[in-house]
Amino acid sequence: MPATAGAAAFCAWCGAPVATCGSQACRRPLDPPHFCPTCGRRMRVQVTPTGWQASCRDHGTPDLEATPSEDASYPG
Does the residue 69 lie in any domain?
Answer: no
Read off the pLDDT of residues 8-28 as tens digits, 9 standing for 90 and up: 788 888 888 888 886 677 877
Whether pLDDT at 29 is above 90: no
Does the residue 70 lie in any domain?
Answer: no
Counted domains in the chain: 1
Categorize the per-residue pLDDT at 6 as very low, low, confident or very high, splitting at 50, 70 and 90.
low
What is the domain extent for residue 18?
A: 1-63
φ and ψ at residue 65, rounded to 5 degrees: -65, -25
Given a contact cutoff of 8 angstroms between Cβ atoms, the answer to whether 33 and 67 are in contact is: yes
- Say what the pLDDT of residue 12 is: 86
Distance in angstroms (rounded) separating the CA atoms of residues 34 and 39: 12
Does the residue 36 lie in any domain?
Answer: yes
Q: How far is CA 11 from CA 22, 23, 28, 38, 49, in A?
A: 9, 7, 13, 9, 24
- Say what the pLDDT of residue 42 is: 94
- Say what the pLDDT of residue 72 is: 39
Half-sphere exposure of 24 (CA within 13 A, CB side): 5
Does the residue 74 lie in any domain?
Answer: no
Residues above pLDDT 90, as percent of the chain: 20
Does the residue 19 lie in any domain?
Answer: yes
